[in-house]
Every structure is written in structure tokens, then in C-alpha cells.
Amino acid sequence: MYSFTEENYLKAIYKLQEQSSEAINTNAIAISIQTKAASVTDMIKKLSEKKLLEYEKYKGVVLTELGKKVAIETVRKHRLWETFLHNKLNFTWDAVHDIAEQLEHIQSQELIDKLDDFLGFPSHDPHGDPIPGKNGEIKESNFVILSELMEGETGIISGVVNHSSLFLKHLESNELILGKRIMVEEVVAFDNSFQVKIEGKKILQLSNEVARNILVKKMK
Amino acid sequence: MYSFTEENYLKAIYKLQEQSSEAINTNAIAISIQTKAASVTDMIKKLSEKKLLEYEKYKGVVLTELGKKVAIETVRKHRLWETFLHNKLNFTWDAVHDIAEQLEHIQSQELIDKLDDFLGFPSHDPHGDPIPGKNGEIKESNFVILSELMEGETGIISGVVNHSSLFLKHLESNELILGKRIMVEEVVAFDNSFQVKIEGKKILQLSNEVARNILVKKMK
DNA sequence: AAATATTTTTAGACTAATCTAAAAATTGTA
DNA sequence: TACAATTTTTAGATTAGTCTAAAAATATTT
């Protein structure tokens, strides 16, 4: 229905819209999609003609309901494929993104529905991001960042804020893996770093920077 | 590495080469790939420059070792994805081909290796076609066509000769499904049709046309 | 072997997506 | 408010893949 490129533009604009609430300007799209502003202008004209977004010269763009729907469908596909790669094929946390960028453009509604079923209708992908449902609904997640936990509190590692490959690799090499139970032993007043215990055995020292980028499900 | 289109041309030429032993001519490729002869001429020039095939004007083409390697890798990906779709996602026999046509172009060696592992290193896809190994080796299969069985002989349904959606749907609606045991009760002399018994219960009458297009593994 | 039919190639054009360089509009600042 | 800086758009070119129509080569028939 929509091309590889069109889907990528819509997804990028959708993600920018999630953060800003104002119309998205050309340069922001160009940076996010790693292309030139002139190319973006061309493409948004085309998307505007197809009623996927509203565009006024020099004023930036806003997705229409249709554009948003297509974007959310693409996000849904991306996150389901990431979950497949991680849960079924044992790809590491940091390796799934690039492959899912390709897989998300496969055209088949039936494929996505069956994949969703096969994975057990997961609510979140391996990075802790919510997976939109078949009708585009997105569940609120009750994850908090690790640095919000008090001394003595426990959480289950459920996702990340920073998605960079560097950060994800760092986590994995320290056994900070999805699903692991983590307990805050001490918050060091001096630098706000965290001393934590992972699933009974390992004790680790985490910088505040790291603690601010890990999502946990808080245990009562 | 190679584009979607390049891979499709190489795969098509490879399949034509499997049948003919002579150089493959432009028109045959055009028909197989559903395009025009002029487009084929353009593309084979390009593939020839990239050393993927040998081309002499008006004489047709022959794949080089490199071209053959790329073609076999694409076939391997296609058949592994078909197996995934059928075995894991429960797609019917006739639905897997079109989706695999898209999935076969996803670029990631690691993905294919992990998928192969996940599927248990299958030797054949759901149509009974052999899945090339990681190094391009293709196992001989000892399947025979159903119409070669004598009265009283038994086989396991293992694949098809005709891959058309029409034929595959016909088989499925008659419970002629991969893995089922089939026994020849009678070969009707008049029209060479087959009376068969499927896995203990159903008795079916199969035309010779149908019997010639089902592959079975013969039981001793 | 000449005439005819078929196949293949060339020439030139088209679309989607991209780019660079320059022009136009907007925003920020003195 | 006017000048400078930044952002955005336009104009024109490029690449991959495709097409039609015509020309050239090959194959077939008489």
C-alpha cells in the first residue's frame, strides 16, 4: 500500500510528534531520517497529496488520522518483530533494531496477526516500549526509571530510555537483562550513583546516568 | 549487498538454469519475472558488469559461480521463511510463497542462521523442495511422485511438483497435507486414476493429474 | 538463398527518491 | 525596524528500474 520510504517518513514524524505537540519542521525530519531538507520537502508534499499529513509551506507538518494510523501500524510491526528476534531467535538487546527496521515493511496483515498470536500477544517489546494493538490502541505502562527507586525497593528490569547500541551492550555485559530482579541497596549521596543487587547474587555500582536510563516495574 | 531486484533476477535465472542446461535467453527471463524483454536486457548488462553472470549479445546468459552463490542464498532464505510461516505461524500451504518472496530479501546473515537453528535445521520446505545449507550444498531428496506407487504401497506426503495456489488449495481442502500417510488401494486401469486411503480413515479418488503432482516418501 | 517471422537490443522517456546549489521566507538580534 | 542568520523551498541533475517503439540480429520457412 505505502512504500518503504513513505512508511519511514510517517514513523519518524509520528515519533517527533510524540515529543513536541507542535507542528514538526522540515529540518527535524531531515535529521531524524538522515537525509537532506530538500528531500524532506519533496516527500512531505507527496504525503500531503495522499492525505497522510497536513502541510503548509514554511509551517511544518502534522499527521492526519490516516497518517497516524499508518505510522502506528509500522511501529506495531517493528516492535513485534523486535520481540520475535529477541524472544524466539535469541538476538541480543542491541541487535534487534536494525533487522526490525527492514522487517517492519513486509506487507501482510495476516502475517502480523499470526506473529502477534505466536508471540502470545506481548504488551511490550524488548526495550520496554509498548506494542500497539491490532486496532492501534497503546497501553499505558507503569514502568518507572530505576533512579526513582528508594533504598530497599525492588524492581523487574523492563526496558530502557536510551536505545543506543552502546548503552544496550553495556547493560548486557553487566547482566542487566530484561526480566531480572534488581534491588537498590544504597543510593550514594555524593554522586547519586546506585549500589544494586541483581537477582540474589551480583552486586553492582551503577552511575546515575545508567540508573536514569533503565526502566523497571516496581515491586510492592 | 545486492538489491531486491538483482536478487530476483539471479533467482529466476538460477531456476531456469536448473531445467535447461543451455544459456538462458532474454525472453524466458522476461516471462519468468513478469517484465519486458527490454528491461531484462538492461538488467543483465548490469549483472554482467558485476560479474554475476556471463552475457554475450543475442546469446543469452549463464550465471557465474558468484551469481549462482547469491541465487542459492536467496533460495535458502525463501525456503527457510516458508518453513517458518508454515510450521510456526500455521500459514496454509498455498499462502506462504508470496510472503516469503518479500522476506527472502531481508539482509542479515545472522538472522538466517538463527532462523535455521530455530526451525531445527529443516531439510525441506513445506512444498518438499530442499533447503540449501549454509554453504550452499543441496541434499538430494528421495521423494517420488505418488503416481509411481504400486497398488498396496504407502508413502508420506512430502511435497508437490506443481506449486500453483489452485493446486495447493485443492490438496488442502481434501486433507492431502504434508506429513500424512497415504496408501494406494487401487490404480484404475481405465484412466490411471488412483484410489487412495489417507491415514487410516478417508478414502479418496485422485485423478492421474493430481497423483503426478504429489511427492511422497516411499515407505518400505 | 531470399523472404518472413521472431527475438533481442537500442534509444529515449518515465517514476520514485535522492542530491547540490541557489533563491525565498522566516526568525533572531542590534 | 533593518540587517544577519537560519530554515525552507525551488530548480535542475542523478540513479535504479521500468516502459514503448523502432532498429538490428537471428531463426524459420519457402
Q: Give the closest residue to A87 by CA, choosing from A116, A109, A51, A50.
A: A116
Give a yes or no: residue B81 inside a domain: no
Round to a whole number and report the distance in Å from the CA of A30 to the C1' of C11: 37
Show which positions of strand C are touched by protein (CB under 7 A). 7-12, 16-22, 25-26
Give a yes or no: residue B37 inside a domain: yes
Confidence of residue A141 (pLDDT cuts 50, 70, 90): confident
Domain final residue, candidates A42, A63, A84: A63
Q: What is the pLDDT of residues B180-214, one digit of tens each?
A: 999 999 999 999 999 999 986 789 999 999 999 99
Q: What is the pLDDT of residues B125-173, one digit of tens each?
A: 999 999 999 999 999 888 999 999 999 999 999 999 999 999 999 999 9
Give a yes or no: residue B91 inside a domain: no
Instruction: Tally the domains of chain A.
Output: 2
Amino acid symbol at B133: G
Round to a whole number and report the distance in Å from the CA of A85 to the C1' of C19: 35
* A26: nearest nucleotide, CA–C1' criterion: D8
Give a yes or no: residue A154 inside a domain: yes
**With an 8 Å Cβ cutoff, are A108 and B99 in contact?**
yes
A119, three cell numbers: 508471540
Residues close to nucleic acid strand C (C-beta < 7 A): A 3-6, 35-36, 38-39, 42-43, 46, 57-58; B 25-28, 37-38, 40-42, 44-45, 55, 57-60
Q: Which sign, positive or negative, has the C-alpha torsion A210, A212, A214, A218?
A: positive
Domain final residue, candidates A63, A85, A114: A63
| 3-state class (DSSP) for residue A140 | coil
**How far apart are the two ends of chain A, measured CA to CA in Å?**
47
Let me know: does B145 contact B214? Beta carbons within 8 Å. Answer: yes
Give a yes or no: residue A70 inside a domain: no
Give a yes or no: residue B133 inside a domain: no
Report d(CA A6, CA B103) in Å as an integer: 19
Domain final residue, candidates A63, A78, A101: A63
Give a yes or no: residue B72 inside a domain: no
A87, three cell numbers: 524472544
Let me know: does A115 contact A84? Beta carbons within 8 Å. Answer: yes
Residue B43 backbone dihedrals phi, psi, to 5 degrees? -70, -40
Report d(CA B145, CA B161) in Å as an integer: 8
> What range does the domain containing A58 cover?
4-63
- Beta bridge partner(s), residue A184: A196
**With an 8 Å Cβ cutoff, are B91 and A110 in contact?**
yes
Give a yes or no: residue A59 inside a domain: yes
The 3-class secondary structure across A45-61, one letter per residue, is HHHHHCCCEEECCCCCE
pLDDT of residue A97: 96
Confidence of residue A199 (pLDDT cuts 50, 70, 90): confident
> With 90 as the cut, is the pLDDT of residue B5 above it?
yes
CATH of the domain at A167: 2.30.30.90
Nearest-by-CA chain A residue for B115: A89
DSSP secondary-structure letter at B25?
Answer: P
B50, three cell numbers: 558485476
Choice between B12 and A199, residue whose per-residue pLDDT is larger: B12
Q: Give the closest residue to A3 by CA, choosing from A128, A140, A152, A104.
A: A104
Adjacency order of strands within the sheet including B214-218: B144-145, B214-218, B154-160, B181-188, B193-198, B202-206
CATH of the domain at B25: 1.10.10.10
Q: Give the closest residue to A219 by CA, choosing from A170, A183, A189.
A: A183
Mean pLDDT of chain B: 95
Number of neighbours of residue B151 by Cβ within 10 angstroms: 11
Integer angstrom CA distances of residue A20 from A13, A15, A164, B39, B135: 11, 9, 21, 46, 50
Round to a whole number and report the distance in Å from the CA of B2 to the C1' of C21: 32
